[in-house]
């Protein structure tokens, strides 16, 4: 069973007189453990697709299933419940709660999911360790660099053990080195946890990390295929094993 | 749910925008302090007016003939008490009664060679402790003695107005029991100053025996005035003193105009309270709405993390409650200082108290009262108003679509 299945999904935005078809007739499956890039020019519908997959919004037509359950017409609260339990989000801006420390940000989804205190402490510690921020757990977001903030966001997205993590241009606001580090951490956590990752990007170096690439144009899938990460790309650099906090996760 | 974390987020958000938080805190605190001072003052003034009236005019209980009409200060025999001394003694024997004494009231006009003034004449039992307050208020000359046949005690204020002093003569004109004009000359033995402008200007005292002879009432009296150990025993004593042909009135009946005026005055104050609270509400609603606008994207993130809209609403309401409670506590402290100051030093209001007749006795200063129950109620009401004011911003925040909220910059 795929983690998420889209069948004939269409989304149209109407602003005043203007109607813009952001997505039309999208049909695709995301399988367990995938590491998939969605690419396409600006306005091709990447963000819209991730929002629909993440149950942040509802399609105009078509069907969306998550782990076999039809979620197409769920009400706002039911979609919130689904996001809380099944889906992790990473955004282009470093979407941390500014008044909470790194630790508290990672813990927040666990609190929302009523995870008990011991389990929370274990998972937050492990995840902060995994993204190499164990020593900065008590810092507030404004005391962290962009790359560090994005790593906290990755830890937070994974904390509730979702079946799917959606990342919308996660490296767009990072420099080359930090971007690579973020992608490597995502890749490693994908392998260790088996959580499916879907990320939207413009950046060919980010695309090179993916094992599957879905190309969008004008709201349609124009290409969808597997690839082997290129040897000359970012992803091939032997960095992974020395990267900060490259521990294995006990709860995987 | 993560209640504690919601409180923490609320508290830290308040700390994040310190200036705005401080401003709304000051608004709530000032509102609360203002409510305390306003209500403390008006309650103090009303309470004082009632106490003055009981002490200097009405007593706690009065026994009168049932045909007696106070507005006319009637002196007809049929309207007066036959054996006031016996009645006073009967009252005095009751365990709840502190003192009881007969009194004869007359309307009169005092004249000097070039001036005159209308007054209320009190023919009193000068040895009775009922009139201890007047004895204490006698600031010049001496209080009256029972056998004084031509001594009189007048208010300092009236004396100043007439340009007379202790030892000088004045002429008093009255209409006696049989309706004939009478005139007699008295010597001012002493001057009193109660501090109540109206009273000091309109009251004069004679020994009751002289007043009875002057007015031709025999040994009859207008009323027996009774002072109690506790005001709330008035109904019991009233029942005990009831008799055929008598009318027994409590301080509530005797101060009906004052109490009714107080009720009207207080309802005006409730409106004032509401206005203060409304201003607080507008400031809080505005502050919170600004906070919501500032945090739209944060709301989007929380929503993406799976927070339900009701939880987002609660988060903002908790923030408002924190702000409200902090403001109310700060306001209670400032307000207590204000009320304490006004309770000791008072607020000068000048001689406005001479207007409105004797129904409402006021000094030249208003003193606040510390009313713990009322102030706690005002605090609770203010908190309630703050929460009400937070409802719209909180609702607004919870209604944001996650997609829209996340797009905001
Ligand atoms: N809320 C909206 N209202 C109206 N039109 C919208 C809205 N969101 C997206 N669109 C339109 O839908 C289309 C797809 O937008 P989307 O944001 O999904 O593209 P994208 O591939 O993420 O682009 P980018 O690479 O610039 O982020 C665009 O034509 C866009 O203008
Ligand atoms: Mg986009």
Q: What is the pLDDT of residues A164-194, one digit of tens each?
A: 999 999 998 888 888 888 899 899 999 989 9
Assess contact for B158 and B119: CB atoms under 8 A: yes
Say whether residue B302 is in contact with chain A using an 8 A CB cutoff: yes
CA gap A215, A198 in Å, rounded: 13
The answer on B263 and B198 residing in a single domain is: no
pLDDT digits (tens, 9 = 90+) for A111-150: 889 889 999 999 999 999 989 999 999 999 999 999 999 9
Q: If you take atom 26 of ligand 1, which residue's CA is the nearest one?
A: A42
Whole-number percent of chain B with pLDDT over 90: 53
Q: Which two tokens stand for residue A36?
A: 């998939």
Q: Is the pLDDT of residue B169 over 50?
A: yes
CA gap A148, A132 in Å, rounded: 9
Establish if B150 belongs to a structural domain: yes
The answer on B283 and B204 residing in a single domain is: no
The answer on B120 and B27 residing in a single domain is: no
The answer on B80 and B29 residing in a single domain is: no
| pTM for the model | 0.77
Q: Produce one character per residue of B35-63: b if its CB has 16 or more CB atoms within 10 Å, e if not.
A: bbbbbbbbbbbbebbbebbbbbbbbbbbb
Does domain A33-59+76-236 sit in CATH 3.30.360.10?
no
User: Whole-number mean pLDDT of chain B?
Assistant: 89
User: Quick one: which atom of ligand 1 is closest to the CA of A14?
Assistant: 4
What are the chain A neighbours of B8 within 8 Å (beta carbons)? 100, 104
Establish if B337 belongs to a structural domain: yes
Confidence of residue A231 (pLDDT cuts 50, 70, 90): very low
Judge: A97–B298 Cβ closer than 8 Å, yes or no: yes
Judge: A100–B301 Cβ closer than 8 Å, yes or no: no
Residue of A46, A199, A200, A203 to mutate, ligand 1, most atoms within 8 A of C-beta: A46
Where are the domains positioned within chain A? 33-59+76-236
Confidence of residue A235 (pLDDT cuts 50, 70, 90): low
| Domain's final residue, options B244, B274, B308 | B244
The answer on B185 and B332 residing in a single domain is: no
The residue segments making up the domain with residue B337 are 3-53+258-407
Q: From the candidates B306, B311, B402, B405, which should be mutated to test the interface with A, based on the most A CB atoms within 10 A? A: B306
Q: If you take atom 2 of ligand 1, which residue's CA is the nearest one?
A: A13
ipTM: 0.89
Q: In what order do the strands lie in the sheet with A4-15?
A: A18-30, A4-15, A61-66, A69-70
How many DSSP H helices and E strands does chain A contain? 7, 10
The answer on B166 and B71 residing in a single domain is: yes
The answer on B105 and B234 residing in a single domain is: yes
The answer on B211 and B75 residing in a single domain is: yes
The answer on B268 and B400 residing in a single domain is: yes
| Domain's final residue, options B183, B217, B244 | B244
List, in order, residues 6 or more apart from A110 with CB less than 8 Å away: A119, A120, A123, A124, A159, A160
Cα A13 to ligand 1 centroid, rounded to whole Å? 9
Helices (H), B54-155: 84-92, 132-137
CA gap A148, A131 in Å, rounded: 9
Whole-number percent of chain A with pLDDT over 90: 65
B72 or A40: which carries more pLDDT confidence? A40
Judge: A112–B403 Cβ closer than 8 Å, yes or no: no
Nearest to residue B233, comparing CAs of B257, B250, B256, B246? B250
User: What's the structural domain count of chain B?
Assistant: 2
N residues, chain B: 409
The answer on B209 and B128 residing in a single domain is: yes
Mark which residues 114-153 of A lie under 8 Å from B by CB: 114
């Amino acid at each position: 069973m795929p983690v998420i299945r889209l069948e004939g999904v269409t989304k149209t935005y109407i602003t005043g007189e203007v109607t813009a078809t952001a997505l039309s007739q999208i049909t695709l499956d995301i399988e367990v453990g995938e590491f998939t890039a969605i690419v396409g020019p600006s306005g091709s519908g990447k963000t819209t697709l991730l929002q629909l997959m993440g149950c942040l919004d509802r399609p105009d037509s078509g069907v969306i299933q998550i782990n076999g359950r039809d979620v197409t017409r769920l009400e706002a609260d039911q979609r919130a419940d689904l996001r809380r339990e099944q889906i992790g989000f990473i955004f282009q801006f470093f979407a941390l709660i500014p008044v909470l420390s790194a630790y508290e940000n990672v813990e927040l989804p666990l609190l929302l999911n009523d995870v008990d205190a011991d389990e929370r402490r274990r998972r937050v510690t492990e995840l902060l360790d995994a993204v190499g921020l164990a020593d900065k757990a008590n810092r507030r977001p404004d005391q962290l660099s962009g790359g560090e903030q994005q790593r906290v966001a990755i830890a937070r997205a994974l904390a509730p053990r979702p079946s799917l993590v959606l990342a919308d241009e996660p490296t767009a606001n990072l420099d080359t080195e930090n971007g690579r580090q973020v992608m490597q951490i995502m890749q490693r956590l994908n392998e260790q946890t088996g959580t499916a990752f879907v990320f939207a990007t413009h950046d060919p170096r980010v695309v090179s990390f993916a094992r599957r690439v879905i190309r969008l144009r004008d709201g349609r899938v124009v290409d969808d295929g597997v690839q082997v990460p290129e040897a000359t790309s970012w992803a091939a650099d032997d960095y992974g094993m020395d990267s900060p906090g490259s521990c294995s996760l006990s709860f995987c | 749910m993560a209640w504690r974390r919601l409180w923490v987020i609320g508290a830290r958000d308040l700390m994040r925008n310190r200036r705005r938080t401080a401003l709304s805190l000051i608004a709530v605190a000032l509102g609360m302090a203002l409510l305390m001072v306003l209500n403390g003052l008006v309650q103090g003034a009303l309470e004082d007016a009632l106490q003055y009236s009981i002490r200097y005019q009405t007593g706690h209980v009065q026994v009168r003939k049932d045909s007696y009409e106070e507005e006319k200060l009637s002196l007809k025999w049929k309207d007066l008490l036959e054996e006031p001394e016996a009645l006073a003694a009967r009252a005095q024997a009751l365990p709840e009664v502190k003192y009881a004494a007969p009194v004869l009231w007359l309307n009169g006009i005092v004249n000097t060679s070039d001036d005159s003034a209308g007054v209320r004449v009190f023919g009193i039992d000068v040895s009775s402790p009922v009139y201890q307050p007047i004895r204490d208020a006698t600031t010049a000359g001496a209080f009256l003695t029972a056998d004084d046949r031509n001594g009189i005690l007048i208010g300092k204020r009236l004396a100043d107005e007439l340009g007379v002093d202790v030892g000088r003569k004045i002429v008093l004109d009255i209409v006696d029991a049989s309706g004939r004009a009478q005139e007699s000359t008295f010597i001012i033995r002493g001057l009193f100053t109660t501090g109540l402008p109206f009273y000091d200007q309109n009251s004069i005292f004679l020994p009751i025996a002289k007043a009875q002879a002057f007015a031709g009432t025999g040994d009859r009296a207008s009323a027996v005035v009774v002072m109690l150990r506790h005001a709330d025993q008035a109904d019991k004593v009233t029942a005990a003193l009831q008799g055929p042909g008598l009318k027994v009135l409590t301080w509530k009946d005797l101060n009906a105009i004052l109490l009714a005026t107080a009720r009207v005055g207080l309802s005006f104050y409730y409106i004032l309270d509401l206005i203060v609270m409304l201003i607080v509400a507008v400031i809080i609603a505005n502050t919170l709405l600004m906070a919501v606008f500032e945090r739209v994207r944060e709301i989007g993130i929380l929503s993406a993390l799976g927070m339900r809209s009701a939880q987002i609403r609660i988060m903002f309401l908790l923030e408002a409650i924190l702000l409200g409670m902090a403001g109310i506590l700060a306001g209670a402290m400032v307000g207590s200082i204000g009320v304490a100051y006004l309770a000791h030093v008072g607020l000068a209001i000048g001689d406005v108290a001479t207007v409105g007749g004797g129904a409402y006795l006021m000094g030249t200063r208003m003193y606040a009262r510390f009313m713990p129950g009322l102030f706690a109620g005002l605090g609770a009401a203010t908190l309630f108003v703050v929460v009400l004011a937070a409802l719209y911003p909180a609702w607004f925040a919870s209604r944001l679509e996650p997609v829209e909220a996340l797009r905001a910059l």
